Structure 1
Amino acid sequence: MSSEKLFAILIACLCLTNELALSEAVKYCYSDDEHPYLQAGTKTAYEVEHGIIKNTTVPNCKPMQIWMLIRHGTRNPGKEEIKNMKHNLPELQQKIIKNHEQYRKGSLCKKDLEKLRTWKLDANLDKHKHKHLTAQGKKDLSSLGARFKDYFPELLQSYPLDSSRRKYKFRSTDIERTIVSMDSFINGLFGNATVNNTEVVPTSKDTLLQLYKICKSWLDQVSNSSDKNEVDKLLNGSLFSEIIGNVSQRLGFSHRLSFDDVLIMYTACSFENAWHIDERSPWCAAFTKGEKEIFEYEEDLYCYYYSSYGQILSSVVGCPPLQDMFNHFTKLENGDSNEEPQGIFYFAHSTTLQLLLTTMEIAKDSVPLKASNYETMRNRKWRTSRLAPFAANLAAVFYKCDSSNKVRLYLNEKPLHYEGCEAGVCDWEYLKKKIGFKAFNCNTNICTK
């Protein structure tokens, strides 16, 4: 056989291989994926991550008080994100459809392309309501309240008509999304009962839930830290460069899309999946599971150096809620149950919760997160999708027992895996030895220096 014939056969085989590869790629439809990757850092829908508490009984113990720190529910994006979604997405939508249908470029399947064609930006999305709670956000919190009433009927009964009996304490930051979250949670607990002991504290005076907003030393440390460059290193490195190239090709563009265009598509994917938990955003079809995991890591990296172990002062700024919890539990330990509420509920933000988790040394990795160690940190503990999705919450229940008192810890309605505790049940004396020094010596004077 001549060399020319061999060359022709080789070319034919290569073409066939490429066609088969393209065919296999086209066979995948995000719309048909029964197990899509829905973890999106702090923009993860609560329905994706929360558990169901099946047993609240602790042998020979009686629950005396539940203490909860709760992040607001699903919200709208920020003002700039809304602006970019409105300006960029419709134009990208039309170009992607044209790439596939007119130029025969791109590899979205027909079903994903059709869903993108019929996509419309949420009519309720308004820059004047940036970061406001959404309808799903209200549902997140009302459902959460209803479930906790079922979990702990001994503690969470009907709201007392006698307003002098302060059975429950509710406090929120002075932000629309946390105030509405508090109201929705109360509605889930007690229906339409009028609750007259809610408290909303202005940010400038909120040393319990928003100390990080007014602590100059911590703010200076965050803004001056060289470690924040880790996020820039990741964004400007080979991983994101490859994502931009892959997404551009997948959507049929002959040129590389800008990072801003790729980011706004990912933003739409994340928020729309959280807004409509029974649907899937067509923008998610632009990304593979692996690419979404890298976006997730980028936010974990940011949070690690903003509100967690990457900052030395994080455990100091995060200690006021822990101090509050320990002060309440200490009063119960000392027999002051008549003066203590049965339920204490605080409504705040992702940063508040992350700082508290850091103070408690929850989800602490033995190796710091870096731009360079993504592959080796795939199984990291610090994962904001699991720790701080929308409506994330830490619940601590104090039990008075025949022998040693107990505290049961839940994170997002799952028993918290905490060192020295079994299935989230800790001896109160053990907790005092483990983290009591942080709670009882919560010195925030550094914030005023």
Structure 2
Amino acid sequence: MSSHCHSLVPCLRLIYSKHRRSLIGSWKTDHIIPENPNIPAIAKYFTTTGRYEEVNPYLIEDILAVNRSMLQPPSAQCRQIHLTAIIRHGTRYPTTQSIKKMQKVYDLVRSRASGKESWLREIQTQWTMWYTEDMDGRLVQKGVNDLKHLSVRLSKLFPSLISEQKLRGGHIKFITSSKHRCVNSTLSFKAGLTELWDIKDREFDHAVNDALMRFPRWCTRFVQEDNHNLSAVEEDDKFMQGPEMRRVQEKIANRLRVPYSNITHDMAESAFDLCAFEFAIKAVNSPWCRLFDEDDAKVMEYASDLREFWKRGHGYNIKSKSSCILFHDVFCRLNKSASENKSGQQVTEAVTVQVGHASTLLPLLTLLGFFKDNDTLTSTNYANQTERSFRTSHMLPFAANLLLVLYDCGGGDLRLQPLLNEKPVTFPGLTDQQASMPLYRDVREHYRELLQGCDFETECQLFKQPADV
């Protein structure tokens, strides 16, 4: 996207006009994008620090492109009656902890590395450590744009739900975590709509609900047990000390011409973060990226996935169960919408936009059974996991989103379609002919045990005050 559109004040309408043709479905998600020298070759391995555009490459050419034909309801009479969108915040700065580690690897390269390669000279003489600790995970301008663009795209995908009339009528609700990056992402999502429709005469409220959108912090049992999650610690430590990671560290040391002992796995991860954040925030193919080839990036991705798997995914049952509160909240809202629709009333909450974190979305996806491979991710089976579905680079880039769309197809036939990052997915375990848009009653039956159980207080031993972590 050109630099003159970064302010996005009048630009959403300008872009919409310019790209109107693609907004009605001329793009396909498998559109082939030519190789771009400004995009690191390893960008698709950046895990939770990856750009949303790497998950949907067609957006690189047209950031507002949508393809409504992918929704594919079973009949033309199906109409959308409710949408729940659970969204991760947009692109952010690194956290203070990450920035401290980045400073260490930067200082090492400046003081100890030798060689005449142009990329190394660029780091040593031109690149300046510009990250400061007070940035601490705050939303960047790219993150503002992420949510503005997402809101416009969703308004094109679901025009009967995300409309000016619904917004003005109070039928679109906004809920957010209290963290600044989430609040600002929520404000950005709303701004995308008000700028698109040129609404200047009013503002729209949002609710802050940490118990719902930052539930891991309120789950006392998780907070207590997370510090004693030996499986996560052991698997992470073993992989970090294993042959794959050791080889990456040695290759980095060779490229910098420093002793092997100078490059720890923390150093390797920080250099990888520098490459990823420079690209995510500034859209530059940083010289830091030259420290890694594709094989190295795959190892770095697996190290991150392994950690997420054991801390927030299928390897750690308590963490997914901590999302019971969000799970029940979603289905309560779907039930209410279904009931209002059945009785002939207008659905009062046509759209719910809920903005949280990767640690909000991943446990919910896990609880619902998504991305569960036959083989468990471990420190010793890296070579066998090349085709794994549990890949955070695909699941959880900045602005990742889970969409649940409820349809009325007539005759009491309600259907529910899940989409992840604007692409249809299938509820695990449902094999109906309309698996991508199953009957809502079949979805409820499939998750019956969770709907009847999965009590947040029982699972988390919730106290009145959130844990201080």
Say whether the fold is shared (TM-score over 0.5): yes
Q: Is the 8 A contact 1:248 1:254 kept in 2?
A: yes
* 1:197-237 deviation line (CA, Å, top 9, x unaligned): 31113x4xx1x222211211222332222211100110011
* 1:325-369 deviation line (CA, Å, top 9, x unaligned): 211221222235525211100000001100100110000112211
Residues 1:63 and 2:70 aligned together: no
Residues 1:54 and 2:68 aligned together: yes
1:218 and 1:378 map into 2 onto residues whose CA distance is: 30
1:401 to 382, 396, 409: 409
1:250 to 250, 255, 262: 255
2:167 and 2:371 map into 1 onto residues whose CA distance is: 41
* 1:130-169 deviation line (CA, Å, top 9, x unaligned): 100111111111110111111111111116686xx32110
Aligned to 1:341: 349
Q: Secondary structure at the match of 1:431?
A: helix
Deviation, structure 1 residue 433: 1.2
Moved more, 310-319 or 141-150: 310-319
Aligned to 2:218: 214
The one-letter code matched in structure 1 to 2:443 is L
1:418 and 1:267 map into 2 onto residues whose CA distance is: 33
Aligned to 1:186: 190
Aligned to 2:132: 126
Q: Secondary structure at the match of 1:197?
A: coil
Aligned to 1:325: 330
Cα RMSD for the two superposed structures: 2.4
1:430 to 424, 428, 442: 442
Q: Is the 8 A contact 1:119 1:282 kept in 2?
A: no
1:234 to 222, 239, 253: 239
1:82 to 99, 103, 106: 99
* 1:24-43 deviation line (CA, Å, top 9, x unaligned): xxxxxx96888444321111
Q: Summarize the alignment of residues 280-295 of structure 1 with structure 2, pairs less than 5 Å apart.
A: 280-295=285-300
Aligned to 1:363: 371
- For the pair shown, the structure with the greater C-alpha radius of gyration is 1
**Are the structure 2 counterparts of residues 80 and 316 from structure 1 closer, same or farther at C-alpha, using a change threshold of 3 Å?**
closer
Q: Is the 8 A contact 1:42 1:385 kept in 2?
A: yes
**Are the structure 2 counterparts of residues 252 and 369 from structure 1 closer, same or farther at C-alpha, using a change threshold of 3 Å?**
same
Q: Is the 8 A contact 2:38 2:285 kept in 1?
A: no
Residues 1:448 and 2:455 aligned together: no
The one-letter code matched in structure 2 to 1:405 is L
Moved more, 64-73 or 258-267: 258-267
1:286 and 1:134 map into 2 onto residues whose CA distance is: 25
Residues 1:387 and 2:395 aligned together: yes
Aligned to 1:6: none
**Are the structure 2 counterparts of residues 94 and 143 from structure 1 closer, same or farther at C-alpha, using a change threshold of 3 Å?**
farther
1:305 to 310, 335, 356: 310
1:176 and 1:292 map into 2 onto residues whose CA distance is: 30
* 1:92-119 deviation line (CA, Å, top 9, x unaligned): 14644xx223xxxxxx5x4x44654564
Moved more, 413-422 or 395-404: 413-422
1:80 and 1:161 map into 2 onto residues whose CA distance is: 39
Gaps of 5+ in 1: 1-29, 102-107
1:355 and 1:345 map into 2 onto residues whose CA distance is: 18
Aligned to 1:268: 274
Aligned to 1:5: none
Moved more, 299-308 or 434-443: 434-443
The one-letter code matched in structure 1 to 2:177 is T
Deviation, structure 1 residue 80: 2.4
1:43 to 25, 49, 68: 49
**Are the structure 2 counterparts of residues 154 and 160 from structure 1 closer, same or farther at C-alpha, using a change threshold of 3 Å?**
closer
* 1:9-35 deviation line (CA, Å, top 9, x unaligned): xxxxxxxxxxxxxxxxxxxxx968884
Q: Is the 8 A contact 2:52 2:397 kept in 1?
A: yes
Q: Is the 8 A contact 2:43 2:50 kept in 1?
A: no
* 1:357-413 deviation line (CA, Å, top 9, x unaligned): 011000011221100111111111111111111110000111011142111111001
Residues 1:151 and 2:157 aligned together: yes
TM-score by length of 1: 0.83
Overall identity of the aligned pairs, in %? 24
The one-letter code matched in structure 2 to 1:334 is S
Q: Is the 8 A contact 2:98 2:270 kept in 1?
A: yes
Gaps of 5+ in 2: 1-35, 58-65, 463-469
